[in-house]
Amino acid sequence: MTKLTSLKSEKRLLDRRAADQIRSHILEGVLPAGERLLETQLSEELEVSRGTVRSALAQLANEGLVQQVAFTRWEVSGTSTVDAWEIYTLRGALEGLGARLAAANVSETDGMRLRAIADDLLHAIREGRFQDATGIDFDLHAAIIELARHERLAEQHRFIVQQVRFHMVQSGFLPNDYEELIAEHKALIEAVIAGDADRAEKLARNHNDAEVKLLAKLLKQGGSAKPIREKAS
Amino acid sequence: MTKLTSLKSEKRLLDRRAADQIRSHILEGVLPAGERLLETQLSEELEVSRGTVRSALAQLANEGLVQQVAFTRWEVSGTSTVDAWEIYTLRGALEGLGARLAAANVSETDGMRLRAIADDLLHAIREGRFQDATGIDFDLHAAIIELARHERLAEQHRFIVQQVRFHMVQSGFLPNDYEELIAEHKALIEAVIAGDADRAEKLARNHNDAEVKLLAKLLKQGGSAKPIREKAS
DNA sequence: TTTTGCTTGATTGTCAGCAATCAGCAAACA
DNA sequence: TGTTTGCTGATTGCTGACAATCAAGCAAAA
| B1 pLDDT higher than 60 | no
- Over residues B101-108, the mean pLDDT reads 96
User: Taking the complete model, does pTM exceed 0.85, yes or no?
Assistant: yes
Cα–Cα distances in Å, from B154 out to B97, B123, B141?
A: 11, 27, 11
B47-102 pLDDT tens trace: 999 999 999 999 999 999 999 999 999 999 999 999 999 999 999 999 999 999 99
Instruction: Compare CB distances from B150 to A11, A86, A151 and report the shortest one's residue.
Output: A86
Q: Residue B51 CB closer than 7 angstroms to strand D?
A: yes
| B7 pLDDT higher than 70 | no
Residue B219 C-alpha, separation from nearest chain A C-alpha, in angstroms: 13
Instruction: Compare CB distances from A51 to B51, B83, B156 and report the shortest one's residue.
Output: B51
- Over residues B220-224, the mean pLDDT reads 65
A53-69 pLDDT tens trace: 999 999 999 999 999 99
Residues 64-83 on B with a CB inside 8 Å of A are 64, 70, 83
Mark out the alpha helices in chain B (DSSP H runs). 14-27, 39-46, 50-62, 81-105, 108-126, 130-147, 151-171, 178-194, 197-207, 209-222
Closest CA to A66 of A40, A33, A24, A20: A33
- Over residues A7-14, the mean pLDDT reads 74
| Residue B227 identity (one-letter amino acid) | P
User: CB-based contact (8 Å) between B14 and chain A?
Assistant: no
Helix pair angle (A14-27, A50-62), 10° resolution: 60
pLDDT number for residue A231: 35
CB distance A211 to A180 below 8 Å: no
Helix pair angle (A39-46, A50-62), 10° resolution: 110
